[in-house]
A and B are shown apart, each in its own frame.
Chain A
Amino acid sequence: MTELQVQQTTAHWPNVQEMPFWLEKAIAWGQTDTPHTWKDISLHLKRLRDFLQQLLTEISSVSSTTETLNRLPLLGQLLGRLCWNPHVTAEGASRGLLLQCLLALYSEHPSNAVEGKANQWIQKVLCHLATDEEDGAAVALMKHLAVPTKEYHLNVLKKMVTRIQESIGNSQCSVSSTNKGCSCGSVWAASEACVPLITCPEASPLIGALLQQQMTCIREGLSENFLGALHSAYSRCDLLLDEQAVVSLWYQSLPSLEEAVLNLLASATAAGSTPSKVEEQVSKSLLPKACAQHCSVFLVVNDIFRTVLKQTERNERVKNVFQTFTKCFFMELSRLQPQPSASLKAFFPQSPPSLLIPLFTMPSEMPQESLKNHLMWVSSSLQRLTEEEEDEEDSDSGNIRGNHKVFEAWFLLVQCAYWVQVAVQLLVTSGPEDCGPLLWLLTFYHHPTNRWHHRASQLVQAKAAWDHLYSLFSTVALLAPKPQQPSLAPSLTLNLLVNFATFGQLPQSTSAEITQKVVHQSGLQDEAARVLSSLRLRLNDRGSFANDRVHLRIEELHNTIKKPM
């Protein structure tokens, strides 16, 4: 039978099959108290919880305890033994389920001797668990000093956490002492023992200390169960750790790190997130800090970004997150190191090294005049890179390595996109002669791949758009005297202007505003009015009264021209 089929046939009573297994486990766990026992317990804890949940469902579905005990004769033994196991009772979820199972067996109105005895036993167990009545000399003193049970045990717990933290802090492991057996074994044992205590608030300083313990030993590390349990608790947002402990967790547990990065991406690209919100989310997430402290963490994060980017080239929101992240990361790095640029190669091993420092210099750190040259240099470097790679491709058609270098350069540009923003700004004040490299940069940012050699046509389109906008927003200079010889008669341009304003597609008010600005700037109001009048006359002659719209426009224009500015 396949696993699915087995599950289905025993769907009603999975417990009858598993009960002897768990009872055996419980007995074994009660017999020894070594780190290996602890490891076995934490290994089985999740399955045990699932089993207890199933038990609880069944006990609750059966109305009489007598019947439950008939169906599951080993139940009492199992629950009893589990109650005496502190590793099971220390953990919140398993303790909860265990107690609920016990209480579900309690009969409100016992109908026979069996149920009566069961009630007595349950009350006895609960009493023993929650009070110190049977605890002898250890707690007798506290009674004599009139210290409440809860306060006493809480203080002992806190004291233990402090002492263990101290002893962990003191344990060193030098590589040379591998023969003698290092104390890292005790760190492993401690991490194994602490698995049930991960969500216990008083134990969180200890958990943090374990995570941040420098693991220099080759043989021992933190227990796998410990890291796995931390990851699950982290996913449920159930963990109480301070900042440094979280950073250590990410450093040691890859799944936790991946989850953190994906969560950040999801929330930062959600609908309604503004750039300032994104920045807040990114810096609050502690990820930039973690990346600055551990190069390996940054490499993983960058890898995830790289993969995401390959799938969503055009997604501007995602690109914005990367840019913000890099900015925050660099800020954190600068806090840690006086010369962050020195270590950039380690953080970006795959990027073209010549581009690293230029792109990571913040625009604010350069004088305004040098910005343009800087960008020219960046643009030409990138151009050269793309041309090289295309040449390689052409000459070596069997080479499927692909646009690796170009992609890495583009990825770097995306992360340092503040430079692209500067380029766009500079394009407004550039003239047609020097806008070329800047336009190339902009085009490259939005279209990194040159599939089917489309770049040339894209560049042409970009230039055309720039031309349009340039003209549109500098119309005022239309009639300014130009030094060119032979100069064009102003009335030629003026005639064109008036006709465009009258018959053009722009709305009336916009046409009027543009016309007014140009005419008044050049001081040719009278000439303009004359042209307009002769146009009106010509239209009247043709008897096109019917076109009121044009008529209105001419009137409006006339008024505008006549109006003093």
Chain B
Amino acid sequence: MEAVLKNVGRTVELLAVAAHSGVVNEWDEQTVTRAFHWARYCEHIYSRFHGNPVIRGVLEKQLQLTNHSLKEALPEYNAVSFLDLGRCQDLLLLWLLNNSALPVSIMKMLFETKASADSTSSNYEDVRGLCSQIIQCKSACTVLRPLLGVPTVGADAEVQGEMLMERLGSALSQSSDPLRAEDFLSSVLQEFEVAAEHLCPVIAAALLTTTDSAAQTASQDFLLDWLQSRRGTLQHVCTALPSKVLADLAKRHQKFRDAFCKLLKRWASEMEYRVTEGEWVHAATSSAVSFQKMTEHYLALFEACPSLRTEIEDELNARRIADGDFDVRGLSVWGDILLALRK
């Protein structure tokens, strides 16, 4: 363990040098390759121990010490967190490229491009041409993105959803305490309070991934429970996503179907009829769902789960009757929904 701590500490120092020191000017291809090798080592350490609270703690302590001493030596130093260890190579690359002392020869090596199709990404260890390959990947994604047509959730969200599930799965399996996994999910959400909208497709994609094992099903279940327990997030998800996606989710997960139906009913009951506009409007917030959207949700739901149709229509009808059994528009939201659905 001591050796690991020493190595991690040294690598962080290496990162600091890469970021801020003029010594980089003397680096050659061999040095750079070695630096990336150590960065890979840290990534490996992270993936092995991030679920182990004891070792994680020890590593975090070491990082604290190293960060402290580096900060004293280099005032412009940015602390490296435990999370950062997981993407150490990216950090190294970023800081190298931002260092004005980096020699042109190193840049040329990193950005070397082989024009032929020979340059497969199979050799993960190769630093030569690394940046060119990254650019190729990113550009290819941008080129292909418009071809996906109307996405359900989009390829990006799909991949992120898969990775979220993977991390969640390992968090659940590595400790019997479900709180760890909860903490993990909450921390993920917390970071993206601002970008909650971005997260919704990811959660949907995560829930829609095909599960091959009991462990994966357990992860999805966990995510569902977590989602249901947080009204705000659930509501956000149902507002942000297109009807088709929500319908697919309902089809796939009974729990979600129930929660979604309940939510739709709650939304409907909170609606008011505006005579001036001749429309039902959600009283609470202007950014919430519109009458039309709600109808679309219902229609998509019926298409995905045909068995639901009679059940829901009966329920809506019962509520309409309870409201006074009127057939005129504008008096009962339930009646108007039924009208819209039957068109």
Query: What is A's interface to B at a CB cutoff of 8 Å?
Result: 33, 86-87, 89-90, 92-93, 95-96, 99-100, 103, 106, 108, 119-120, 123, 126-127, 129-133, 136-138, 140-150, 152-157, 159-161, 163-164, 167, 186, 189-190, 193-194, 196-197, 199-203, 206, 233, 236, 238-240
23 A-B contact pairs sorted by A residue (CB < 8 Å): A87-B139, A89-B139, A93-B115, A99-B132, A123-B97, A129-B135, A129-B138, A130-B110, A130-B111, A130-B135, A142-B160, A144-B191, A146-B47, A149-B87, A152-B159, A156-B155, A160-B141, A164-B147, A167-B149, A199-B116, A201-B120, A238-B116, A239-B117
Contact B97 A127 (CB under 8 A): yes
Contact B104 A130 (CB under 8 A): no
Which residue of B has the minimal Cβ distance to A146? B86
List residues of chain A with CB within 8 A of the CB of B199.
141
Contact A86 B117 (CB under 8 A): no
Q: Is B57 on the interface with A (CB-CB < 8 A)?
A: no
Contact A197 B134 (CB under 8 A): no
CA distance A143 to B97 in the complex (A): 18
List residues of chain A with CB within 8 A of the CB of B112.
96
Contact A131:B136 (CB < 8 A) given known A92-B114, A123-B98, A201-B117? no
List residues of chain A with CB within 8 A of the CB of B160.
141-142, 145
Contact A138 B116 (CB under 8 A): no
Contact A145 B149 (CB under 8 A): no
List residues of chain B with CB within 8 A of the CB of A100.
108
Contact A145:B147 (CB < 8 A) given known A130-B131, A137-B195, A201-B121? no
Contact A127:B83 (CB < 8 A) given known A146-B50, A164-B148, A200-B140? no
Contact B202 A141 (CB under 8 A): yes
List residues of chain A with CB within 8 A of the CB of B136.
89-90, 92, 95, 200
Determine, out of B88-96, B224-232, B247-255, B332-340, the stretch whose residues face the partner at the interface. B88-96
Best-buried of A123, A145, A149 by chain B (most CB within 10 Å): A145
Which residue of B has the minimal Cβ distance to A152? B159
Which residue of A has the minimal Cβ distance to B195? A137
Q: Contact string, B103-139, partner A, CB cutoff 8 A, digits 1/0? A: 1100110111111110111000000001111111111
List residues of chain A with CB within 8 A of the CB of B137.
150, 153-154, 156-157, 202
CA distance A527 to B261 in the complex (A): 121
Complex interface residues of chain B between 152 and 178 (CB less than 8 A to chain A):
155-156, 158-160, 162-164, 167
Contact B94 A99 (CB under 8 A): no
Q: Contact string, B59-97, partner A, CB cutoff 8 A, digits 1/0? A: 000000000000000000000000101110110011001
CA distance A126 to B130 in the complex (A): 12
Complex interface residues of chain B between 14 and 38 (CB less than 8 A to chain A):
none
List residues of chain A with CB within 8 A of the CB of B115.
92-93, 96, 199
Contact A186 B140 (CB under 8 A): no
Query: What is B's interface to A at a CB cutoff of 8 Å?
Result: 43, 46-47, 50, 83, 85-87, 89-90, 93-94, 97-98, 100, 102-104, 107-108, 110-117, 119-121, 130-149, 155-156, 158-160, 162-164, 167, 187-188, 191-192, 194-195, 198-199, 202
Which residue of B has the minimal Cβ distance to A106? B104
Which residue of A has the minimal Cβ distance to B104? A106
Contact B135 A148 (CB under 8 A): no
Apart from A140-B192, A147-B86, list 9 A-B contacts with CB within 8 A: A90-B140, A96-B132, A108-B104, A131-B134, A146-B50, A147-B87, A157-B144, A160-B147, A197-B140
Contact B167 A145 (CB under 8 A): yes
Contact B111 A126 (CB under 8 A): yes
Main SS at interface, chain B? helix
Contact A193:B146 (CB < 8 A) given known A92-B115, A99-B111? yes
CA distance A390 to B202 in the complex (A): 81
A271 CB to closest chain B CB, in angstroms? 29
Contact A190:B147 (CB < 8 A) given known A103-B107, A153-B138? yes
CA distance A160 to B86 in the complex (A): 25
List residues of chain B with CB within 8 A of the CB of A233.
117
B12 CB to closest chain A CB, in angstroms? 16
List residues of chain B with CB within 8 A of the CB of A148.
43, 87, 89-90
List residues of chain B with CB within 8 A of the CB of A136.
195
CA distance A196 to B121 in the complex (A): 18
Contact A159 B116 (CB under 8 A): no
Best-buried of A150, A193, A233 by chain B (most CB within 10 Å): A150
Contact B134 A189 (CB under 8 A): no
Pick the residue among B100, B116, B144 that contacts A160 (CB under 8 A).
B144
CA distance A143 to B167 in the complex (A): 13
List residues of chain A with CB within 8 A of the CB of B159.
152, 155-156, 159
List residues of chain B with CB within 8 A of the CB of A141.
160, 164, 188, 192, 198-199, 202
Contact B155 A103 (CB under 8 A): no
Contact A159 B158 (CB under 8 A): yes
List residues of chain B with CB within 8 A of the CB of A240.
117
Contact A193 B147 (CB under 8 A): yes
Pick the residue among A137, A153, A190 that contacts B141 (CB under 8 A).
A153
B203 CB to closest chain A CB, in angstroms? 11
Pick the residue among B100, B111, B141, B195 that contacts A157 (CB under 8 A).
B141
CA distance A491 to B199 in the complex (A): 113
CA distance A199 to B115 in the complex (A): 8
CA distance A552 to B240 in the complex (A): 113
CA distance A513 to B164 in the complex (A): 91
B68 CB to closest chain A CB, in angstroms? 23
Which residue of A has the minimal Cβ distance to B86? A146
List residues of chain B with CB within 8 A of the CB of A200.
117, 136, 140
CA distance A90 to B138 in the complex (A): 8
